[in-house]
Chain A
Amino acid sequence: MNAIEIKGLCKNFGSKQAVCSLDMTVPMGAVYGFIGENGSGKSTTEKMICGLIPKSGGSIRICGRDHTDKDVRAKIGVLIEAPGCFGGLTVFDNMMLQAANLSIPDAEKEVVKTLKLVRMEGAAGNKYKNCSLGMKQRVGIAMALLGDPALLVLDEPLNGLDADGMRIMREIFLDIVKDGRRTILVSSHLLGELQKVATHYGIIRGGKMIREMTSEQLDADCRTYVALQSAEMSRTKALLGCKYARVEEDEAGYIRVYDLTTPEEVVAYLYEQGIPVTEIKKNKIGLEEYYIDLMKGGRS
């Protein structure tokens, strides 16, 4: 059974089509990274999954049931934009309100357990409005986790976090899915961070799903390259450009030769041309570069 199964999903805002025939499959227990440019339809899709905006067409099934089913909806946790807390109340009181809303038996115990999971047990007595951004994001996740949801929908939970905040958030994600009972659908523009936790990816452009893949498929699909520096960079680039299909200069000032598995081959070639290589390394592109590549149309 899949956690989410979407077929032909459409959403129109007047004459503007925000989501167009979108198909999406999120397996149970996955951390599904939902990626796309601003305005590509990520948040709209997430809001439709959560039933916050009505869809114009298509079907959404969550854990095998229609997404409008009231029982299945009780199994969704959400963090979209604001976390749904009242500033004047403490973190604990906000959590208790949400627990009451969900009719959770033994609410206090459950709230303490959830706050511990998001590393917020020490800040339970803080007023929500006095929490830092990172803490607010974690409280938002804790709110979403109450009621033991099978699916968590998190929209940009990594935004505005510092390095430590991101590390904590990564650990939280891994803790949430470790028993395989929960699924996370997370959208983020911080692709490097997302790559560290996601098991599946969906890339959306102009309201259409252009690629869905597992992290293994991404790994296999990501191009390897050799990055080098030499004494004569422009000549090196010109020479390599004639010999290899794809040669580019990156932001760090390295010449990249793509789809090349043996660096020795380039070194030998440049040596023959009388150009000494000063630095060379073999690497693989990450999700971010893969995504940019895809957006440019290189992998469509």
Chain B
Amino acid sequence: MEKSVSFESFGFWKRLNSMLKVDFKRMLRSRVFYILLASALVMPVLMTVMMAMMDGSESVNQQTGEVTVMEGPENAWQNIGTLPGGEDMGGMDVFGMCNVNMTFMGVCVFVCLFIAEDFRSGYAKNLFTVRAKKGDYVISKTLMGFLCGASMLILYFIGSALGGAIAGLSFDLHGLNAMNLLMCLLSKIFLMPVFVSIFTLISIAAKKRAWLSICGSLGGGMLLFMTVSMITPLSSTVANAGLCLAGGLLFASGLGALSTLILNKTSLV
């Protein structure tokens, strides 16, 4: 008797849905994800409180005798961005270096480790054997990175407010309003896919070599990190959010297509 095999066809949404479910479950069970979320919440609290405690303390240079007075934060939103009219609000080096834009680097670590683990464990092999459409994988990973980044950004905003409240800082927006603050947050969230798609592309090219993807992504992302504070200031409006959304979609589709091409043309093991 002739043996036959019956085939079942899966549509795009069903395929994507199942892949997203798996990635979401994995993300929720990943230690790195929680560490990043915790840092996003705790970092602004610690920074704000510590800097506020050190406000007014003096340090003397032993050789020159020059006295430097530590200047603490005056406003709770200082580690989000520079307020209008604020004279060098991010003047303290620590806020210049460690501000909300650090979350973009955190997402880099998450995406690179997440994808490298897929290839290292052999999961990618299982997946690509049964799933011929590589685009699904790229979309799923980009969405996971985006979700992780968006969660970190929201927690960072909450952390900044908490830190400000604990340190007793002003919440005055210097002529701006809550809408600007919301647009600033949304702009940063919408900008996230630009970075996530770069990290995804580099991680897919590096496959199981996590160190290479992290170094490459940080190097590649570094070129764009500077633009984040310029495009998404505290005074952001709907235009900023729209611009970031358009950029995010454009980068995610363009680099996503490139990532898919790499998966189609290179060895997956």
Contacts and interface: CB of A to CB of B under 8 A. Distances in A.
A83 B129 contact: no
Contacts of A26: none
B102 interface: no
A144 to B, nearest CB: 8
B97 to A, nearest CB: 33
Contacts of A84: 121-127
B61 interface: no
A101 B130 contact: yes
Interface residues of B, number: 40
B127 A101 contact: yes
A86 B123 contact: yes
B26 interface: yes
A52 B267 CA distance: 6
Nearest to B29: A89
B121 A85 contact: yes
Nearest to A101: B22
Contacts of B17: 103
Given A73-B129, A89-B29, A83 B122 contact: yes
B132 A69 contact: yes
B109 to A, nearest CB: 17
Interface string B236-264: 00000000000000000000000000001
A195 B77 CA distance: 72
Interface stretch (B4-12, B36-44, B159-167, B222-230): B4-12
A74 B130 contact: yes
A71 B7 contact: yes
Given A1-B3, A52-B128, A53-B267, A97 B25 contact: yes
Contacts, number: 122
Contacts of A77: 129-130
B209 interface: no
A153 B120 CA distance: 19
Contact of B5 (A88, A89, A93, A150): A150
Question: From DSSP, what is the main secondary structure of chain B's interface residues?
Answer: helix
Contact of A100 (B21, B123, B133): B21
A208 B210 CA distance: 36
Contact of A53 (B5, B18, B269): B269
Contacts of B18: 100-103
Contacts of A65: 7
Contact of B122 (A69, A72, A85, A88): A85
Interface in A43-73: 47, 50-54, 63, 65, 68-73
Contact of B132 (A47, A73, A89, A181): A73
A89 B121 CA distance: 12
Interface of A: 1, 28-29, 47, 50-54, 63, 65, 68-78, 80-89, 93, 97-98, 100-103, 143-144, 147, 150, 153, 180-181
Interface of B: 2-5, 7-10, 14-15, 17-19, 21-22, 25-26, 29, 31, 117, 120-133, 264-269
19 contacts: A1-B2, A47-B269, A52-B269, A54-B265, A65-B7, A70-B10, A70-B132, A71-B7, A74-B131, A76-B130, A80-B122, A80-B269, A84-B121, A84-B124, A85-B121, A88-B31, A93-B29, A100-B18, A143-B126
Given A75-B7, A101-B18, 8 more contacts: A51-B129, A53-B269, A70-B9, A70-B131, A71-B7, A80-B122, A82-B120, A84-B126
